[in-house]
Amino acid sequence: MYRAHFGLDEPPFRITPNTGFFFDGGRRGPTLEALLFAVQHDEGITKLSGEVGSGKTMLCRMLLSRLPAEVDTIYLANPTLGPDDLLRLVAAELSIDAPSDNPGVRLIEIQKDLVARFAAGRRVVALVDEAHAMPAASLEQIRLLSNLETDEHKLLQIVLFGQPELDELLKRSSMRQLRDRITQHFRLAPLSPGEVGEYLRFRLRTAGHRGPDLFARSAVRLLARASGGLSRRINVLADKALLSAYSQGADQVRRQHVAEAIRDSEYPLPGRDGSLPALAGGVSLAVLAVAGWLFAGYPSAPRTILAEESPPAPAAMPRPSERSPRAEAPLDPAPPASEPHPAPPVATLPAPPTPVVSIEAETMAAVAQAPAPATEPPPAPPESVAPNRPEAAPGQPEPTTSDGAPLPLRLGPLALPLQADTARWVAETPADHWFIQLRTVDGARAEDIDRFVAQLDDTIDREQLRIYVRDLGWGARVGIIFGDFARRDAAMRAMAALPAGLRSDGIYPRQVKGLR
Helix axes 285-296, 255-264, angle to 10 degrees: 130
Q: What is the count of structural domains for the chain?
A: 3
Is residue 378 one of the residues assigned to a domain?
no
Q: What is the pLDDT of residue 271?
A: 52
Q: What is the pLDDT of residue 44?
A: 86
Is residue 100 one of the residues assigned to a domain?
yes
Q: What is the pLDDT of residue 405?
A: 54
Q: What is the pLDDT of residue 456?
A: 85
| Of residues 428, 210, 451, the one with CA closest to residue 317 | 210
Could you tell me which residues come within 8 angstroms of residue 416 by beta carbon, excluding any fewer than 6 positions away?
390, 399
15 with 56, same domain: the answer is: no
Which one of 131, 156, 188 terminates a domain? 188
Which one of 159, 188, 217 terminates a domain? 188
67 with 9, same domain: the answer is: no
72 with 134, same domain: the answer is: yes
Is residue 295 one of the residues assigned to a domain?
yes
Query: How many other CB atoms sit within 10 Å of the CB of residue 184?
Result: 21
d(CA 328, CA 88): 37
Is residue 427 one of the residues assigned to a domain?
yes
User: Please, what's the b/e burial string for 476-502 (b: 16 or more CB within 10 A of its CB; e: otherwise)?
Assistant: bbbbbbbbbbeebeebbebbeebeeeb
Q: What is the pLDDT of residue 283?
A: 41
44 with 133, same domain: the answer is: yes
CB-CB contact of 185 with 42 (8 Å): no
428 with 507, same domain: the answer is: yes
Give the CATH number of the domain where residue 44 resides.
3.40.50.300
Per-10-residue mean pLDDT, the chain, length 516:
89 91 92 90 88 92 90 88 89 81 85 93 92 90 90 90 91 91 92 95 94 94 95 95 93 94 76 43 44 41 36 40 37 40 42 42 46 42 37 45 57 87 91 87 71 82 89 72 91 86 75 82
Domain extent, residue 491, equals 415-515
46 with 163, same domain: the answer is: yes
d(CA 232, CA 340): 27
Q: What is the pLDDT of residue 40?
A: 85
Is residue 398 one of the residues assigned to a domain?
no
Is residue 351 one of the residues assigned to a domain?
no
Which one of 188, 215, 239 terminates a domain? 188
124 with 55, same domain: the answer is: yes
What is the per-residue DSSP string for 482-513?
EEEESSHHHHHHHHHHS-HHHHTTT-EEEEGG
Give, in degrees to the nearest 5, the angle at Cα 45 between 151 and 88. Answer: 85
Beta bridge partner(s), residue 182: 45
Helix H segments across 187-339?
193-206, 217-227, 231-247, 255-264, 285-296
Is residue 393 one of the residues assigned to a domain?
no
d(CA 281, CA 277): 11
Q: What is the pLDDT of residue 49?
A: 93
Give the CATH number of the domain where residue 482 resides.
3.30.70.1070
Structure pTM?
0.55
| Of residues 377, 424, 384, the one with CA closest to residue 401 | 424
82 with 183, same domain: the answer is: yes
248 with 162, same domain: the answer is: no
Is residue 174 one of the residues assigned to a domain?
yes
Helix H segments across 228-337?
231-247, 255-264, 285-296
Helix axes 217-227, 231-247, angle to 10 degrees: 140
53 with 158, same domain: the answer is: yes
7 with 149, same domain: the answer is: no
Distance of CA 277 to the CA centre of its chain: 26
53 with 201, same domain: the answer is: no
CB-CB contact of 325 with 190 (8 Å): yes
